[in-house]
Amino acid sequence: MKYGIPIAISVGLAWFLSKNVDWGAIKESLRNDVNYWWFVPVIVVSVFSHIFRALRWRLQLRAIDVHPSLSALINSIFGTYFVNLLFPRLGEVWRSGYIANREKTSFTQVLGSMVGDRLSDTVTVALLTLFTFFIAQDKFVKFFDQRGDGSGSMFTSWVFWLLVAMGVLGVLALVWIFRSKSENKVISKVRLMLRNLWDGFAAIGKMEGKWMFLLYTVLIWGCYFMQLYLASFAFACTKDLGIVAILVLFVLSSIGMAVPSNGGLGPWQFAIIFGLTLYGVGAFPPSTPYDPQASAFAWLVWGVQTCLLIVLGIYAFISMAIDRKRIAQGKTKIKTQSQSKEMTI
């Protein structure tokens, strides 16, 4: 279930997308409408986003007295995304296990710091989504009006308050479960999960360098946005869309990445193509096929990112193998949690 469902989602959405496009027209667009030099800075910015994530995680690990080298953390981040391409969501568990094993420390503690790392990303996406909804609500209203169901004029009023109500009810439900004394097995498991999540997130408040954590968060998500923004200049159909339009694409694609799939295959392209329709690049199916330029943009940007993750993953696993050998030979020193000083393994 854990690995079969994401693969099924990826294959199903990829098939749904592919049957609604003209691959010949996409190839023609890729041949004539793309300035591939723009992907050079896209790749550079993408690499820096991983480095900033490693630097941010280092702050959290230091709070629990775990001190891996920066190169080990960068390798763990590279490896995480590579593993996620094969088994969605497994990469985060893998990187926690790798660092815990390398540093001879508690896997649970390291996993808790990773949970805090991911929860901070969830909060960031939520804030970006609310902000983007307000500054680009006219596009969503126009989309609903074009659907002909008369819902566009009501969108800004009832959707916002529905989201607020759902959020409040969700928070109240989580608080009740967290404080409940019920011995029900399901509630007990959810309560334990919430407690572990909270412990991981609470570590952020106890660590030194909270402002640096915030700065790294801004840099990480700034890099993510810049990747898409720079890539937009490579295509004739997107180079003049502007920052707000790219922000809409960015938020929609970030939400799409929450769908369990292999490297975002399917949900990411669907979100990007839908976002482009809001700004006149093609018309949303099933009434018409996908616009070839919108499809070319979605598939090429995703393809470049995926190829980069594969290359970085291969580099990471080679580097980790060399690192293990150096540790075994005593050439690399590990600062253990128990001794709180450097010692040779």
The DSSP-derived string for 169-227 is HHHHHHHHHHH-----HHHHHHHHHHHHHHHHHHHHHHSS-HHHHHHHHHHHHHHHHHH
Is pLDDT above 80 for 319? yes
CA angle 5, 14, 248 (to 5 degrees): 100
> What average pLDDT score do residues 50-70 get?
91
User: CB of 278 within 8 A of CB of 140?
Assistant: yes
CA 145 to chain centre: 31
Judged on CB neighbours under 10 Å (0-12, 13-18, 19+), 264 is buried
How far apart, in whole angstroms, are the C-alpha atoms of residue 249 and residue 302?
13
Residue with the bigger pLDDT between 266 and 317: it is: 317
Triad 271, 43, 239: Cα angle to 5°: 55
Q: Is 327 helix (H, G, I), strand (E, B) or coil?
A: helix
pLDDT of 340 reads 45
CB 121 within 8 A of CB 219: no
Alpha carbon dihedral 50, 299, 124, 117, in 10-degree steps, equals: -40
Q: CA 279 from chain center: how many Å?
A: 24
Assess contact for 104 and 337: CB atoms under 8 A: yes
- Give the bridge partners for 343, in sequence order: 334
The rounded percent of the chain whose pLDDT value lies above 90 is: 29
The predicted structure's pLDDT at residue 286: 45
Say if residue 167's pLDDT is above 80.
no
Q: Coil, helix or strand for 241?
A: coil
**Res 343 pLDDT > 80:** no
Output the pLDDT for position 135: 85
Residue 344 φ/ψ, nearest 5 degrees: -90, 130
- In this structure, of 91-95, 267-271, 286-290, the range with the lowest mean pLDDT score is 286-290
pTM for this predicted structure: 0.79
> Using CA atoms, how far apart are residues 177 and 192, in angstroms rounded to an integer?
10
Q: What is the mean pLDDT of residues 88-104?
A: 88
Three-state DSSP at 343 gives: strand
Residue ranges of domains in the chain? 4-344
- 8 backbone dihedrals φ, ψ, rounded to 5°: -65, -40
| Cα distances (Å, whole numbers) of residue 73 to 108, 150, 308, 316 | 17, 51, 18, 10
Instruction: Look at residue 89 and tell me whether its pLDDT is greater than 50.
Output: yes
Strand partners, 268: none
Report, as an integer, the average pLDDT of 115-133.
86
Which residue has better confidence, 222 or 168? 222
How far is the C-alpha of 59 from the C-alpha of 163, rounded, in Å? 33
Q: How confident is the model at residue 114 (pLDDT cuts 50, 70, 90)?
A: confident
pLDDT surpassing 80 at residue 263: no
Task: Render pLDDT for 170-195 as a digit per residue (tens, 0 to 9).
Answer: 667 666 665 666 666 766 776 666 66
Is pLDDT of 317 > 90?
Answer: yes
* Percent over 70 (pLDDT), the chain: 68
